[in-house]
Structure 1
Amino acid sequence: MASEAQADVQLHDFKNIFSLEGKVAVVSGGSRGLGLHAASGLLQAGCTKVFITSRKASACAEAVAALNALPTKPPNARAYSIPADSSKVSEIERLVREVSKLTDHVDILFANAGATWGAYFDQVDEKNGWDRVMDLNVKGVFFTIQKFAPLLTKRATTASPSRVIVTGSVAGIAVGSLGASAAYSYAASKAAVLHLVRNLAVELGPRHILVNGIAPGFFPSKMANVLMERSGGVEALERANPNGRVGRPEDVAAAVVFLSSRAAGHVNGDTIVLDGGKMLGSARLERL
């Protein structure tokens, strides 16, 4: 008869708990930056199909070519390019139709598409400074999840739920950038989508869809590089961080893979902060 300790150490297939073997994923805003890092991680973790979408067709094609050239992805794995403007519901609906031609279900949706706009408070305009950011960062995220829900529920079960992961930001939790680089609409939009995560976790959980968010701090990217330079540059930002560095591609890829895997099977409505402790250690650190 097995002892209590022997029973307690038995974990179901733990060596494969982070595996995404055979999964199908969609990544919006996947042609560069955090989205492309995550798409690379999803492929290398075992996904057999990863659909990349963003507004520019050339950027999507370039990203997919790089993903399909990865030597460490499974032999039968493939990335697909389906360009679409995630700020428009009609384009999201077209995206779903195109994805449906190549798969009858989706296991993982990474709603990552986003934009920002920086200006002094008195110079923020309605069209570019507010509506453009809100349309993509909030409306686009909600309707991307809504329109993909039928594909996400197709094979989802209590034992194997589908996953939705939303890109927020530390700017949606703490105070974002101010002054000449003030991004009021961006900060408000990221606070909105992180609260949307909590609401949709309750709404979609019974449909066997788990919804979680990530809140990155500074990661070098086309969108963040200008703000990083205005904030003192990479070296200054690294000195100000408790862990001594800014974000790396593996950080976001690993978080997305974790939230997509069995390892996060009991995580729902939560947000993983990826900032090295910067929000907590915002006071100047003393170097001994």
Structure 2
Amino acid sequence: MADETALTDFPSLFSLKGKIAVVTGGSRGLGLNAASAFLQAGCSKVFITSRKAAGCDRAVAQLNALPNLQPGARAISVPADSSTLAGIESLVSQVSKHVDHIDILFANAGATWGEAFDTHPDAAFQKVMDLNVKSVFLSVQKFAPLLSKKATIDDPSRVIITASTAGLGVGSLGPQATYGYSASKAAAIHLGRNLAIELAPRHILVNSICPGFFPTKMANGLLEMTGGIAKHAAGNPMGRLGKPEDIAGVVVYLSSRAGSHVNGAAIEIDGGALWKRGGFLEPEPESKL
């Protein structure tokens, strides 16, 4: 009879040693939190991309100054506009100049727009859907050859999509309604499930994360407009809002050997706030990109 206490190399279960990651929307906020986690968990290279080169360069400088990286590990700036096919193709080309494969794609770039129902503009709705859904699909499609290059059944590569609890419940309504954002995040979650089944035979796992409120430089203004950080924290079952480590822990889990049999999942990271409010969310702490 097999020893049920025996685990294969438990000390390395959450290690990303030697892995290569690409983080879209990685120059700030949750994307930068995740990039820091990837590097500190052992990644050898983490590519940071967003539209603005200066933002990518600042993020890379911060990441490369972290004190506990693997020897030779580094973050690399690859600015590109992930909202267009040309931008995504440019990103793949830039990454391919450095490496012949990647192990992790964190599809995090996104946008939102808040406006009342009667005046909600067509252009804004289209922009949000394009970046939050179509560009996720195109990013996975164009990076698939690099993701599958060295992936195996025992060591699959990973795609993580940043969705939101707004895609699981009712998002912000009223004067700052986020119709496109909520619809796009629901679509991103379901897209992830479809991609999970399509790409599993290629040894690529696809999962989504669904953050709730996370105070960041980008989010603090909206948090204050909707009652303040203290109010939102008090309304959470955990009595606090999200912290960078909450994102870090989940993305490392999904990217490491610990998450090697998780596929098509959508993991809420909100302390239970969605279900305390019966599936209704207050305005999301996101900003227009």
TM-score range, shorter chain: over 0.9
Q: Alpha carbons of 1:186 and 1:222: their partners in 2 closer, same or farther (altered >3 Å)?
A: farther
What secondary structure is seen at the aligned counterpart in 2 of 1:130? Answer: helix
Partner of 1:140: 135
Write out per-residue CA displacement over residues 164-216 of structure 1, whole angstroms, 9 at most, x where no aligned residue.
00000000100111112111100111000000011000000011000000000
What secondary structure is seen at the aligned counterpart in 2 of 1:194? Answer: helix
The one-letter amino acid of 1:191's match is A
CA distance in 1, matches of 2:224, 2:117: 20
Is 1:232 the counterpart of 2:243 in the alignment?
A: no
CA distance in 2, matches of 1:101, 1:37: 25
Moved more, 225-234 or 114-123: 225-234
CA distance in 2, matches of 1:92, 1:188: 23
Is 1:160 the counterpart of 2:155 in the alignment?
A: yes
Partner of 1:69: 65
Alignment of 1:100-111 (within 5 A): 100-111=96-107
Q: CA deviation at 1:222?
A: 4.0
Partner of 1:286: none
Contact 1:240 1:282 in 2 (8 A): no
Partner of 2:286: none
The one-letter amino acid of 1:69's match is A
Is 1:89 the counterpart of 2:110 in the alignment?
A: no
The one-letter amino acid of 1:279's match is L
CA distance in 2, matches of 1:26, 1:49: 8
What secondary structure is seen at the aligned counterpart in 1 of 2:194? Answer: helix
Partner of 1:49: 45
Whose Rg is larger? Answer: 1
Is 1:263 the counterpart of 2:253 in the alignment?
A: no
What secondary structure is seen at the aligned counterpart in 2 of 1:7? Answer: coil
Is 1:199 the counterpart of 2:189 in the alignment?
A: no
Partner of 1:272: 267
CA distance in 2, matches of 1:209, 1:227: 36
Q: TM-score, normalised by structure 1?
A: 0.95
Could you list the structure 1 runs, at least 4 aligned residues long, displaced by more than 4 angstroms after superposition.
Answer: none
Write out per-residue CA displacement over residues 218-274 of structure 1, whole angstroms, 9 at most, x where no aligned residue.
001244323322321111111111111000011111111110000001100001100
Is 1:172 the counterpart of 2:173 in the alignment?
A: no
Contact 1:181 1:227 in 2 (8 A): no
CA distance in 2, matches of 1:223, 1:179: 21
Write out per-residue CA displacement over residues 9-41 of structure 1, whole angstroms, 9 at most, x where no aligned residue.
110001110000000000000000000000000
Q: Alpha carbons of 1:202 and 1:163: their partners in 2 closer, same or farther (altered >3 Å)?
A: same
- State which of 35, 41, 56 in structure 2 corresponds to 1:39: 35
Quote the RMSD (CA, aligned, Å).
1.0
Q: CA deviation at 1:126?
A: 1.3
Partner of 1:21: 17
The one-letter amino acid of 2:186's match is A
Question: Identity of paired residues, percent?
Answer: 62
What secondary structure is seen at the aligned counterpart in 1 of 2:276? Answer: coil
Write out per-residue CA displacement over residues 54-75 of structure 1, whole angstroms, 9 at most, x where no aligned residue.
0011000000000000001112
The one-letter amino acid of 2:57's match is A
Pairs aligned (count): 278
CA distance in 2, matches of 1:50, 1:176: 32
Is 1:218 the counterpart of 2:229 in the alignment?
A: no
Q: CA deviation at 1:122?
A: 1.2
CA distance in 2, matches of 1:49, 1:214: 22
Is 1:126 the counterpart of 2:103 in the alignment?
A: no
The one-letter amino acid of 1:113's match is A
- In structure 1, runs of 5+ residues without a counterpart are 284-288
Partner of 2:5: 9
- In structure 2, runs of 5+ residues without a counterpart are 279-289
CA distance in 1, matches of 2:45, 2:83: 24
The one-letter amino acid of 2:191's match is L
Q: Alpha carbons of 1:223 and 1:171: their partners in 2 closer, same or farther (altered >3 Å)?
A: farther
Contact 1:28 1:53 in 2 (8 A): yes
Partner of 2:284: none
Q: TM-score, normalised by structure 2?
A: 0.94
